Structure 1
Amino acid sequence: MTPALLVLVVVLALVMAFYNGFHDASNAVSTAITTRSLRESTALVMASLLNLLGALLCMMLLSVTASWAVELLGLGRLTESTAGAPDVLGAGLVAILLATLTWEVLTWAFGMPSSTWHAFYGGAVGASLAIGAAAAWDRLVTMLVVSVVGPLLAAGLSYLLMRGLLALARDERVRVGHLRFAQTVSAGAVATGHGLSDARLPLAVIVVALSVSGTSGGASLAMMSAVAVALAAGTLLGGRRIIRTIGRRLTDLNVAQGLAAESSAVIAMSVAIFGHDSPVSSSHGLAASVVGAGVARGPRHVHWNVARTMVLVWVATPIVTAVLGAAVAGVLLELRLG
């Protein structure tokens, strides 16, 4: 891979890390801000620092190798097909990253939470087909199954937690102040989990690009540290459009609902990361948990039109990014051949 192409891939991966933090800041702070457990500025600073901590922990806990990165990204067939043409692989990575970023910007503009992981996998399928490599359909199918089962489980768990909190609320010893403190802790846990989970995606892209280019591990370590900073910087700015969607447009959120939703999201992320070392959408998990907590108070407390639109966006994510990835990869290959 030429130095210029390597730099482009690394820059786009860091931009994706930044925008992932910006786009998904809502996962950690939307409920806490809406219920006034935390001021917006305080919540964003806390989420940013804990995203940074989570990302750094991710690097310490993982065995970061090229094989790990290829497996995580589902790019095994693509890397095999382009073994003798590193620039073609680089063009594919650029196409996938541009498709992912385009979808992130569009969903932010409409205030809809979406999964960066799902966008990336969709883009990878499209780019692979355009290049002539076998697409990782098994990974895409698994991701689609998880995208259905995961939110359903998160919503169900949140429902049960909310019912438990409603029962506890009858105990006069449990005050709103106690719930606000617990929600602050759960929000911090969501932010840390987001750093642990989502830092892996741009990190893996950079590792693949560096390994193909034959760059030393010391340089890759510096780049991976930059991923953590980019993720935290994006979180600090915060995607307020999506914060409003999760915090206000889905349901009339109260402190107990926020605590139930965040606790459910943390459990779901912990099982996915530490139990299966698999990608997990914190956006899907928290949004579904907010709906589940709303249903526990009564179905009329959920704004179902917003929830339906959100689910449609989730379904459309891999389809749209696959088309975008194929289109961009086709253009890049034409330019290269031309």
Structure 2
Amino acid sequence: MVPEPLVGAILLLTVVLAYVNGFHDASNAVSTTITTGTLRERTALGMAALLNLLGALLGMGLVTMSGAWAFSKIPLGGLADDGGSPPHLVLWVLLAAVATTVLWDLATWWRGMPSSSWHALYGAIGGASLVLGWHADWSAFLGDALMPTAFVPLLGALAAYLLMHGITRLLAKDRLVSGHVRFAQTVSAGAVATAHGLQDVLIPMAVVVAVSATAPVPPAMLAAAPFVIALALATGTYMGGHRIIRTLGTRLTDLSSPQGFAAEASTAALMGVVTLGFGMPVSSSHAIAAGVMGAGLARGRRALRLPVVWSILVTWIATPVACLLLGMTIARLAQTLLGA
């Protein structure tokens, strides 16, 4: 059984999205360990890829991936419940949204800017829905996209700032040695890699499940999808997004091992509390960048390179807006050229 072309195109793009997401976000787990010399680059990327794979498999095992779950996660609940929607409207929105997210991740990687794939997808769904005639649930988009954007980076920066001060005092009193910090940094980086796989695998899997709830998908293809997506995510991570690694590791501030540990530990803790405790998606890109900023600020304002900080903040704010416009453009092209 071969899926219809539209379904096949979305499924293929979803695997590409998983790969690009791993490639784009590899820096979240390894940028500090590579920069500080705690781990060699290939070792760090290999560890991150393996833990991304394990985290992805664990993340898919922790949720019941039904159609209702997928439509809520993306979110497309109102569209799925709208009995008057044109045929295949869900599929066209998903096609535009996934394509937009892939393009935005590649564009921000090229500029060396960490950004959120979640926010890109949400913005793209909103833009595509406007063009294709669906009245989106904007309260859900705003709540899932803007609330974490506003509060998670602030909490991450504060946590890293306080932790960095604590580490500095322990080092000064010889209660902690550099070897301990480097080991702890490796552990915290592994925790971030696992948390990233656990959370971000749900983006492409939600798309796959939403597609299967809307149109026929070959059972064998559906059964293989979790493993293919997990492997694509891990493979992308192993390839590494070196431009963003350089931004977080050297352009934003001059990282030391204590700063790297403070940033990674605060990111892992924040992702665990917010994601598992409150069920909200947390951008690991936002969390780790904010953690690096907080750890750098603990050494004084001059330790941070403010032009890079502002570039990152502008990218975060621009992501949902730019992807809304890009989603509108791609949906309009699909509507004009392909009869969406």
The interval holding the TM-score normalised by the smaller chain is over 0.9
Query: Kindly, what percent of the aligned residue pairs are identical?
Result: 46
1:217-296 aligned within 5 A: 219-296=221-298
- Residue of structure 1 equivalent to 2:79: 78
Paired residues in the alignment total 338
Residue 209 and residue 82 in structure 1: after superposition, are their counterparts in 2 closer, same or farther (change >3 A)?
Answer: farther
1:279-314 deviation digits (Å, cap 9, x = unpaired): 110000000010001111111101111001100000
Amino acid at match of 1:30: S
The unaligned stretches of length 5 or more in structure 2 are none
Answering whether residue 195 of structure 2 is matched by residue 175 of structure 1, we say no
The AA in structure 1 aligned to 2:334 is: L
Change (3 A) 1:7 1:83: farther
Indicate if the aligned counterparts of 1:186 and 1:263 stay in contact, CA closer than 8 A.
Answer: yes
* Residues 203 and 227 in structure 1, CA contact (< 8 A), matched pair in contact too: yes
State the Cα distance separating 1:2 from its structure 2 match: 6.1
Structure 2 counterpart of 1:65, one-letter code: S
* Equivalent position SS for 1:252: coil
- Does the 8 A contact of 1:193 with 1:269 survive in 2? yes
**Aligned partner letter, 1:128:** S
Tell me which residue corresponds to 1:96.
Answer: 97
Measured against aligned partners, the alpha-carbon deviations of 1:156-184 in whole angstroms (never above 9, x if no partner) come to 01111101101110232421111000000
Q: How does 1:202-217 map to 2 (within 5 A)?
A: 202-215=204-217
Distance in 2 between residues matched to 1:188 and 1:175, nearest whole Å: 21
**3-state SS of 1:135 partner:** coil
Residue in 2 that maps onto 1:49:
50
Q: Distance in 2 between matches of 1:51 and 1:221?
A: 20
Q: Following TM superposition, by how much is the alpha carbon of 1:214 offset from its aligned partner in structure 2, in angstroms? A: 3.6
TM-score by length of 2: 0.96
String of CA shifts for 1:138-163, please: whole Å, max 9, x gaps.
Answer: 12221112201110011001111101
After alignment, is 139-148 or 242-251 more displaced?
Answer: 139-148
Show the counterpart of 1:153: 155
Q: Distance in 2 between matches of 1:30 and 1:295?
A: 18
Structure 1 residues without counterparts, runs of 5 or longer: none
Structure 2 match to 1:23: 24
> Which position in structure 1 is the counterpart of 2:37?
36
Mapped to 1, the partners of 2:332 and 2:277 lie a distance apart of 38
Tell me which residue corresponds to 1:122: 123
Separation of aligned partners in 1, 2:258 and 2:90: 48
1:197-239 deviations in Å (ceiling 9; x for gaps):
1000001000100111143666423112211000000000000
- Say what the alpha-carbon RMSD is for the aligned residues: 1.6
Q: Secondary structure at the match of 2:281?
A: coil
TM-score under structure 1 length normalisation:
0.96
Q: Distance in 2 between matches of 1:331 and 1:2?
A: 23
Q: Deviations over 1:116-157 (max 9, x none)?
A: 000000001000111111123112221112201110011001
